[in-house]
Structure 1
Amino acid sequence: MGGSMNAISLRNLSVSYGDTRVVEDLSLDIAESECFGLVGESGSGKSTVLGAITGLVADWTGDISLFGKPRGKAIDRSFAALCQMVFQDPYGSLHPRQTVDAVLSEPLAIHGVGDADERVPEMMAACGLDPPFRFRLPHQLSGGQRQRVAIARALMLKPKILLLDEPTSALDVSVQAEILNLLKRLRREQKLTYILVTHDLAVVSFLCDRLAVMRQGRILEVTGVEALKTNSMTHTYSRELIARSTTRVTA
């Protein structure tokens, strides 16, 4: 499990959109190098939790800290180097007129990191992208290749934490498995901590160590992934969620 330090600590996190409270008094600790799943129906607040951690959602109260360092409300460069997000739609998150090289070099340029010529090919290789892809545009890539580029971009600053928002749900089933295997390998090789938001419990079963079931902005229960595989969750709602899951969860 890595060190004893928590990679992510959330204390009494509440998030509102206008008058609507979407996350309610949520507290959670995620250990270094753990993969933690947030599951629940649409509107349960799971993606909003990621938004608050990354700074995409500003209207939150409570405490967010990464490796013991409190996260302020302002956009913080040192934070970006520590924690990055991978979005659901790899096409929407890549600029259509930027080559793979430009996409991957951009975070380095913004943060004044000078070794793009070394780091771009290195990260492409780590994410299973062959050298010829470097100067292609997003429309010349498949969905799986685009998501590999998005993952490579998130890793360019060598962060310790990746926030994964439905990272495979826009992909074909055959490609989903490839991307999940890639994420599993990267986590091991780069000692990454993941928070994975998904409605697909089979993905949680494959990638995660623990999970939290969310409903209406609150955590109902936190459990080890074994409880998911053996359908021994304690909360009735959690068991209903598993029963309704489209893909059967297997060990």
Structure 2
Amino acid sequence: MTAISLRNLDISYGDTKVVRDVSFDVAEGESFALVGESGSGKSTVLKAIAGLAPDWTGDISVLGQPRSHGIDRAFSRTCQMVFQDPYGSLHPRKPVDWVLREPLRVHGIGARDARVAEVLAAVGLDQRFRFRYPHQLSGGQRQRVAIARALMLEPKVMLLDEPTSALDVSVQAEILNLLKALRRDQGLTYLMVTHNLPVVSFMCDRMAVMNKGRIVEIAPAEALHDGAFNDAYTQQLYAASGGAEPTA
């Protein structure tokens, strides 16, 4: 089954069109990356799927259901997004317990204590973190909370917008390992935005390369090991990154 399908997607901010004619499919259970320079339109595609960039034309469907414009409560049970900045995406005056309970309150879901405990354990945080505030957590712990919040409604599709780029290098590997384990254990589908090719090599099955709002190439992640790309821009991006081998 196809988890995410985009067809002829154009996205605008006001009078400025920032994404043009984007089409691709992500299979259920797949991890798919959008890569490219800053400003190429990667995050805007995720925002359109999530309902945060409602000025678009074309077709978006998730798990076979056509996506409407704007926020859709029913859709949030299927698809959730993890943002780049874990400090900015968490309420600074609310403890972790409130942050995790909020999706359950909005959707009228019970057994909240048990669900909070279960999801905290799934992201590697023990129960003492429930009543801490974001400023009392490290960057990696905050991102674990953000991932836990995204998991509360048991979605099948996760949109990951540079989920490690705001973290210290020493913490990035922990979060990537966590995301990889969650995908395996919970059967999740990932659509990930990143500029980091080693992350794509580690996390993803396929990648789409974006340049100036358009997809110029879709390739298997294995191409990162030998640079076997067809498009000239993709080849330049690969060369500029130094390849896909992770640093020590």
Q: Calculate the TM-score normalised by the size of structure 2.
A: 0.97
Quote the residue 1:249 is aligned against.
244
Quote the residue 1:53 is aligned against.
49
Give me the whole-angstrom Cα distance separating, in 2, the residues matched to 1:168 and 1:138. 17
Give me the whole-angstrom Cα distance separating, in 1, the residues matched to 2:46 and 2:144. 20
Quick check: 1:164 aligned with 2:166?
Answer: no
Quote the residue 1:118 is aligned against.
114
Quick check: 1:33 aligned with 2:29?
Answer: yes
Question: What secondary structure does 2:74 align onto?
Answer: helix
Give me the whole-angstrom Cα distance separating, in 1, the residues matched to 2:3 and 2:225. 25
Quote the residue 1:128 is aligned against.
124
Question: What secondary structure does 1:57 align onto?
Answer: coil
Give me the whole-angstrom Cα distance separating, in 2, the residues matched to 1:165 and 1:35. 13
Quote the residue 1:106 is aligned against.
102
Give the 5 Å matches for 1:78-97. Answer: 78-97=74-93
Kindly tell me the number of residue pairs found equivalent between the two proteins: 246
Quote the residue 1:235 is aligned against.
231
Q: C-alpha offsets along residues 175-213 of structure 1, whole Å, 9 cap, x if unaligned?
A: 000000000000001100001001111111110000000
Give me the whole-angstrom Cα distance separating, in 1, the residues matched to 2:167 and 2:101. 25
Quote the residue 1:224 is aligned against.
220
Letter in 1 for 2:215: I
Q: C-alpha offsets along residues 38-74 of structure 1, whole Å, 9 cap, x if unaligned?
A: 0000111000000100000010000100111101114
Q: Indicate which of 177, 193, 214 corresponds to 1:197.
A: 193
Give me the CA root mean square deviation.
Answer: 1.0
Letter in 1 for 2:245: T
Query: How far off its partner does 1:214 sit?
Result: 0.3
- The percentage of aligned residue pairs carrying the same residue is 68
Q: Which moved more, 1:226-235 or 1:162-171?
A: 226-235
Letter in 2 for 1:36: F
Give me the whole-angstrom Cα distance separating, in 1, the residues matched to 2:68 and 2:14. 20
Give me the whole-angstrom Cα distance separating, in 1, the residues matched to 2:163 and 2:206. 18
Quote the residue 1:23 is aligned against.
19
Letter in 2 for 1:110: V
Quote the residue 2:173 is aligned against.
177
Query: How far off its partner does 1:111 sit?
Result: 0.6
Q: Indicate which of 63, 66, 71 corresponds to 1:70.
A: 66
Query: How far off its partner does 1:250 sit?
Result: 2.5
Quote the residue 1:212 is aligned against.
208
Query: How far off its partner does 1:221 sit?
Result: 0.5
Q: Calculate the TM-score normalised by the size of structure 1.
A: 0.96
Give me the whole-angstrom Cα distance separating, in 2, the residues matched to 1:12 and 1:48. 15
Give me the whole-angstrom Cα distance separating, in 2, the residues matched to 1:216 and 1:13. 14
